[in-house]
Amino acid sequence: MANVAVIGAQWGDEGKGKIVDWLAERADMVVRFQGGHNAGHTLVVGDKTYKLSLLPSGLVRGTPSVIGNGVVLDPWALKAEIARLGEQGVVATPDVLRIADTCPLILPFHRDLDALREDASGAGKIGTTRRGIGPAYEDKVGRRAIRVCDLAHLDDLGPQLDRLTAHHDALRAGFGEPPIDRDRLIADLREIADFVLPFAKPVWRDLNAARAAGKRILFEGAQGVLLDIDHGTYPFVTSSNTVAGAAASGSGIGPSGVGFVLGIAKAYTTRVGSGPFPTELDTPVGEQLGIRGHEFGTVTGRKRRCGWFDAVLVRQSAAVGGITGIALTKIDVLDGFESVSICTGYTLRGETLDYFPAHAADQALVEPVYETMEGWSESTAGARSWADLPAQAIKYIRRIEELIRCPVTLVSTSPERDDTILVRDPFAD
C-alpha cells in the first residue's frame, strides 16, 4: 500500500481538511510537514465542525499524528488549539501526537516583526496572517532559531540568544521598538516547556519505522502550490515549500517514502489576500460563487476573491508539485449556472502563453483565454457516484482532466466527509 501526500493545487483553501479527514480514517499516521498556524483546515464530522490551524487533521479521528521538522511551531498557539479541541471532545496526548524535536519555535517577537513589517509596507503589503511564520523561517535558515529541543536546555541558550537578539534588536530599533527582554523570554519559555516537551520526539525514527512495517502514512500539506516560496506567485507567497517534495524534507522520511501525491483543487478558483489572480471575477457571478461557497478564510476570516477555474495554473501546479491525481472539490457550488468557463491560456502583449509568467509585471498584464461550457441545472450536492452527477458536470470534470493533464482521483460534492466520489484509491497505488 502506498503512502499519500495531500497538497493544495491552487492558492490554499481548496478543501484539504475534508479530504485529509476522509483519508485519515484509513491511515495509520498523519503528518504535517510545513507551514505553521497560518494554515486553516475545516473538518465537518457529523454535526460537529472542527477548525484546525496547527494540529494534523488525523487527531480528530484519533489517528496517531506528527508535526514534522518542516513546521514552525508557536508553542502557545499549540496549547490553545489543544485546549480548544479538548472542549470538543478531541484529546491530544503524547500517545497520539508527536512533535519533531527539531521544529523551530515561533516566538513573540516574530509576531511583532511580522506585524511591524506589514504595517510599514504600504502598497507593498504581502497579506500575511501576522502570526510570525515568515520571521521564524528566516531565523531557521539564518541559523538563529530556538528549536523544540532547546526547551530542555534553556540554561545553555546564551550563545543562541546572542545571535538572535543581535539580529532582532537591530530590526526592532529601526521600527522604534525596544530590544527583546531576554529575561522575560526565558521565563516564558520555561513556563511553556513543561507543556511542549512531553510531545517532543525524533519523529523521523517513528516515520521510518512505520514505513518499514508497511503502515499507511498520510502527509498533510498546508496552503497550496501557488503559494510555494519557489514556485508560487512571488512575492505574494508563504514562507515554506508547499510542493510534495517538502513532505520528505519536512518530516525526515526521504523522497521515496512520499508515495501518491493527491492535489486538491476547487472546481473554481479562490484566493485570500493580495497577489495576481487572472480569472478573478469582480462581478455578480464572482459574488455568487463566494456566497454559495461560503468563501471566508478559516484562519483570517477574510473574504476570498473568486473566479473561474484556471486550468493553466493547476496544470503548472501538477507539474512542479509532483501531483499524481486531483481531488476536485466544491463542484456543487457550480450547480445552477447557465454556463461555466475554464481558463485555457493567457495572452500577454499580443502573445499567447500556456504558462503563468514569473515576473509580477507580466502577471498583472496577462488576460485569460476562456472556454465556455453549458452548465447544469440539476444538483450535484451529496453525490457519491458518477451516476449521481448530471451529464454536463461530468463533461466539465473530464475537460478539466484534459486541460490540466492529470486525472481526477476524487470528487467532493459537499463538506460532509462521505459525500465523495472515489475514482481511484490513492492508498492502493
Alpha-carbon span 335 to 379, nearest angstrom: 6
Are 321 and 7 contacting, i.e. CB atoms less than 8 angstroms apart?
Answer: yes
pLDDT at site 164: 95
pLDDT tens track for 81-101: 999 999 999 999 999 999 999
What is the band of 131 on the pLDDT scale with cuts at 50, 70, 90? confident
Are 3 and 218 contacting, i.e. CB atoms less than 8 angstroms apart?
Answer: yes
pLDDT at site 301: 67
Mean pLDDT across 361-383: 95
Are 69 and 246 contacting, i.e. CB atoms less than 8 angstroms apart?
Answer: no
Lowest mean pLDDT among 70-74, 274-278, 345-349: 274-278
pLDDT tens track for 29-43: 999 999 998 777 777
What is the band of 428 on the pLDDT scale with cuts at 50, 70, 90? confident
All residues at 6 or more sequence positions from 350 whose CB lies less than 8 Å from its CB, including other chains: none
What is the band of 124 on the pLDDT scale with cuts at 50, 70, 90? low
Can you tell me whether residue 360 is helix, strand or coil? helix
pLDDT at site 76: 97
pLDDT at site 1: 56
Residue 313 has pLDDT above 60, yes or no: yes
Kindly report the three-state secondary structure assignment for every residue of 164-226: HHHHHHHHHHHCCCCCCCHHHHHHHHHHHHHHHHHHEECHHHHHHHHHHCCCCEEEECCCCHH
Mean pLDDT across 327-355: 96
Q: Which of 367, 345, 121, 344 is nearest to 235 (CA)?
A: 121
Mean pLDDT across 286-302: 81
As beta bridge partners, residue 341 has 372
Residue 397 has pLDDT above 70, yes or no: yes
pTM of the model: 0.92
pLDDT at site 298: 59
Lowest mean pLDDT among 122-136, 149-163, 229-243: 122-136
Set of cell numbers at residue 273: 489576500
On average, the pLDDT of the chain sits at 92
Angle of helix 75-87 versus helix 182-196 axis, rounded to 10: 40
What is the band of 126 on the pLDDT scale with cuts at 50, 70, 90? low
Give catalytic residues, as residue numbers.
13, 41
